[in-house]
Amino acid sequence: MIGLDDTKSMHYGSVGHEALKGSLAISLALEHLSIKTSICAIRDEMVPIKNFEDLLDSRYILNSFNFQYESSNSHDLSMSAFMVDSLASFASI
């Protein structure tokens, strides 16, 4: 599971787009080795973009992140909420 911060702070300096390109490269390499991946946006909670069963669609994934999300609590709670949500998703497998 690859989680990527999709908040507005990642927009500055194109940091988010560079991280997204790196995440896609890692996902492509793992899928080439027949290792299934999942890609999620980290906002106030985990937002699944590509599930383990889905085919990798780079264009869809690139268009799913805009690095404009913001809320009053996203900087304080987003990572801990992502961890809780990701553990819950693995528990259901």
6's tokens: 């999709």
Mean pLDDT, residues 38-60: 91
Inter-residue long-range contacts of 21-28, CB under 8 Å, 24+ positions, other chains counted: 24/58, 24/61, 24/62, 26/2, 27/2, 27/56, 28/56, 28/58
Cα of first residue to Cα of last residue in the chain, in angstroms, is: 13
Mean pLDDT, the chain, rounded, equals 87
Q: What angle do CA 66, 70, 10 make, to 5 degrees?
A: 50
More confident residue, 62 or 78: 62
Tens of pLDDT, residues 65-77: 999 988 776 666 7
How much is the pTM? Answer: 0.80
pLDDT(47) > 80: yes
pLDDT > 70 fraction of the chain, expressed in percent and rounded: 92
